[in-house]
Amino acid sequence: MEETTIDYTQHFRVGMRVGIDIPLTNGQVFREWGIIVEMDQDFFQIRLSRDVLPEEMRIEIGTIFLLVTGKEGTGLCCRGIVVGDNNRRLIPLRLISEVLVYERRDFFRIGTYLPMAFQICRGMTGREIRERWQETRLFRIWQWSELNEAVPMMKPLTPDQRARFESSRDDLRVKFQPLAVNISGGGIRLKLPQSCSPGDRIALQFFIPFAKPNTLDVVGEVVWSTPVLTSPGGNPLHYVGMRYSQIDERDRECIIRFISLEQLQQIQQQKGKLNDSHLAEPEISAREVAALRRQRLIVTLIVAVVLAGIAFWLAPILMDYYGHRSERNEIERTFEKGVEKYRKGSDRYAE
């Protein structure tokens, strides 16, 4: 599997000034700038411009920043994640996305699948929509407190509210379906089977597992709508972008937390796929396997022939040496003659 890498040196360099969008605990963005002081492929060290930063700023391992170069509309941006300890002035991070055209936003957003439901509010005034949203959220919280004993009960409903609550129990049951969305703490984009006009209101229900209650009621106001290109004969679809016109801030915090968790999960999955690609053995065709086998066979034969030649050359030498069949060389004969003469001379002197 061939690994695809991004050459960030085409867009960033050491000493370069970059804008930084840093998430705050309330889900909004604090805009800062800094200088790249170290760069090694996708690893960056960035020195922030100021010593004092807002207390609600989140700078910890796993925090996702947005690095920006140039101006909005013509500039570029790239996401980075904090990968080490920092002193709130020097930030170590690793780039984790492609370099894209920069579009300034007030909230971080992510593309994911979200269990949700929606109803277009047609023929209703803004006041009626707001009152209906408030009552639906009140009844849903009351229903949640009834079903969960560990959750403190809310203040009692008025008799009129209680009657409406009992009559709307079936309406509080939501049939969720997973939809591909692009969501942030300020709005959402999704694909709908019908067209909408700017200003239309849509009641949205999100399923967030850790929220209490886990169904969030939000009203979105359509900002733009555009048709989706589909195959001939297919059902028409439309991309619809909305901002939240009615949302409780606690629900907004749940959405922001959901986005952060989804971002971390996607990053972990990307790293897992990258590790798997390093560990996986490359795919080899049958022809390449046959060529490798022939190459190994040839090498084995060459080694065998060389070893046989060496053995053939050494065999008679070793056999002659250990069998003492070789004639004594000149040095041995001269040495023996000298010893013999020495012995005869010694015997003569002894007589």
pLDDT of residue 149: 57
8-101 has which CATH code? 2.30.110.70
With residue 116 as reference, give the H or E element that holds it: strand 109-121
Q: How confident is the model at residue 200 (pLDDT cuts 50, 70, 90)?
A: very high
Please give the average per-residue pLDDT across 293-305, as a whole number.
87
Give percent of the chain with pLDDT exceeding 70. 76
Interhelix angle 159-167/126-147, rounded to 10 degrees, is 80
CB 174 within 8 A of CB 107: no
Give the residue from 118, 137, 144 showing the smallest Cα distance to 213. 144
Give the residue from 6, 86, 91 showing the smallest Cα distance to 41. 6
Q: How confident is the model at residue 153 (pLDDT cuts 50, 70, 90)?
A: low
Q: Where are the domains of the chain?
A: 8-101, 109-272, 286-323
> What is d(CA 155, CA 89) in angstroms, rounded to the nearest whole number?
47
What residues contact 335, with CB distance under 8 A and at least 6 apart? none
pLDDT of residue 203: 93
* pLDDT tens digits, 74-94: 578 888 888 887 666 788 888
Window from 129-133, 226-230, 248-252 with minimum mean pLDDT: 226-230
pLDDT of residue 3: 43
> What is d(CA 91, CA 21) in angstroms, rounded to the nearest whole number?
13
pLDDT of residue 138: 85
pLDDT of residue 73: 46
**Residue 154 scores a pLDDT above 70:** no
Q: How confident is the model at residue 221 (pLDDT cuts 50, 70, 90)?
A: very high
Give the HSE-up count for residue 197: Cα atoms under 13 Å, Cβ half-sphere: 2
Give the residue from 132, 123, 265 showing the smallest Cα distance to 205. 132
pLDDT of residue 244: 92
Coil, strand or helix: which one is 90? strand
